[in-house]
Amino acid sequence: MNALVTGASGLLGSHVLKAGLDRGVALRATSRSVPRRSYLQECAGQIVHVKADLAAEVPEDLLDGVETVIHCAGLASSLPGDEQKLRRVNVDAARRLFEKAEAAEVATWVQISSVAAIAGGADGGVINELWQGGCRPTAYGRSKWEVDRWMEGRSSRMRVLFIHPCYMLGPWDSKPSSGAIFYALRLKRVRHFVDGVKNFVAAADVADGIWQAIAAGSAGHYLLGNANVRISEFLATTCDLMGMDFSSLVEVPATVLETGLMPQGDEAKLSEAELSFMQEFCISGAVSWEKAARDFGYAPRVGLQEMIRLALQYLMLLRPTQ
């Protein structure tokens, strides 16, 4: 198999490359740059790397001989004012490359979506691929939902596989993406949280699941997750591994996510940046990945504490005794 991995310098793209090389796949990879501490640096010479900004243009011969595209490139941002950038990267660039892949007669397209594209209004229910709640009401969730719906509406000859990872953690998060939560905690930019159930998964497990799904000939939508745990448990474990005091974080009611206002009697208001961050991170909802387990044997192996530890170790935020 000849496969193209876009967004190869990112968290998931890096793990998809490693898992593909472990399987003997001939790989081509795109990224805008090669970060100093990236897996792209480690696997140089084993893949064909194409430096490209796909949001600007698609290189003319990028898809020559490619049988499978795994489209990991995307922007995950909770920053106020990033909606247009999210649309340009997550929607417009993905559509452009998808159309070129159709013209090049690529056999399989793997769209890396997100649980945010199908997890709107969970209200404590268990989210699966049949969930009818719509997308998460954030700019990121809307961008992923929009491009997924567009691809579903195409009469494409390609086999299209939608992968919806849950909250991914792991090394090689060079930007960082999900790892931003750790920096936000360390720098005390996030001091509050809304508790609830959230699903966390190692990027390495998601990458393995993607290659399993491709090998099985699967198509359609698949959620890939692991541990459904309390957000408070995640934060307490993280604080312990970082040597921070979890009790310094303040739990607030879910109404804060809508209003930005602190509980009655407290006149303080969350900053726009912290509120946007919490609206992405503190959305509650347990996830079922039973369909992936049934259809292609998906079985995540990395536990919560280990996935946090590996991410913190890469970001150099692990306390020295760990």
Task: Return the structure tokens found at 197.
Answer: 């159930």
Statement: the pTM of the whole predicted model exceeds 0.85 = yes
Which contiguous run of DSSP H or E holds residue 224? strand 220-224
pLDDT of residue 315: 95
CATH architecture of 2-172+200-225+286-302: 3-Layer(aba) Sandwich (3.40)
Classify residue 149 as exposed, middle or buried by CB count within 10 Å of its CB (0-12, 13-18, 19+): exposed
Distance in angstroms (rounded) separating the CA atoms of residues 241 and 218: 38
Distance in angstroms (rounded) separating the CA atoms of residues 128 and 119: 9
pLDDT digits (tens, 9 = 90+) for 13-48: 999 999 999 999 999 999 999 988 899 999 989 999
Domain positions in the chain: 2-172+200-225+286-302
Distance in angstroms (rounded) separating the CA atoms of residues 109 and 91: 15
pLDDT digits (tens, 9 = 90+) for 197-235: 999 999 999 999 999 999 999 999 999 999 899 999 999
Classify residue 305 as exposed, middle or buried by CB count within 10 Å of its CB (0-12, 13-18, 19+): middle
Phi, psi of 280 (to 5 degrees): -85, -45
Distance in angstroms (rounded) separating the CA atoms of residues 169 and 233: 15
Residue by residue, DSSP assigns 59-101 as -TTTTTT--EEEE--------TT-HHHHIIIIIIHHHHHHHHH
Q: Which of 5, 64, 53 is nearest to 29 (CA)?
A: 5
Distance in angstroms (rounded) separating the CA atoms of residues 307 and 171: 9
pLDDT of residue 124: 58
CA–CA distances in Å: residue 76 to residues 57, 144, 179, 259: 20, 10, 11, 23
pLDDT of residue 121: 53
pLDDT of residue 265: 55
User: Under DSSP, is residue 32 helix (H, G, I), strand (E, B) or coil?
Assistant: coil
Residue by residue, DSSP assigns 116-155 as GGT-TT-TTPPB-TT--S-S-SSHHHHHHHHHHHHHHTS-
pLDDT of residue 262: 81
Peptide bond into 176 cis (omega under 30): yes
Tens-binned pLDDT, residue by residue, of the chain (322 aa): 899 999 999 999 999 999 999 999 999 999 999 988 899 999 989 999 999 999 999 999 999 999 999 999 998 877 768 889 999 999 999 999 999 999 999 999 999 999 999 876 555 578 899 876 678 888 888 999 999 999 999 988 999 999 999 999 999 998 888 999 999 999 999 999 999 999 999 999 999 999 999 999 999 999 999 989 999 999 999 999 999 999 999 999 988 888 888 876 555 788 888 888 888 888 888 999 999 999 999 999 999 999 999 999 999 999 887 5
pLDDT of residue 312: 97
Handedness of CA 120, 121, 122, 127 (dihedral sign): negative
- Report the alpha-carbon angle 181-182-187, nearest 5: 100
Q: What is the 3-state secondary structure (H, E, C) of 229-241?
A: EEHHHHHHHHHHH
Distance in angstroms (rounded) separating the CA atoms of residues 159 and 231: 36
pLDDT of residue 133: 67
Distance in angstroms (rounded) separating the CA atoms of residues 285 and 115: 10
Strands 227-230 and 197-202: antiparallel
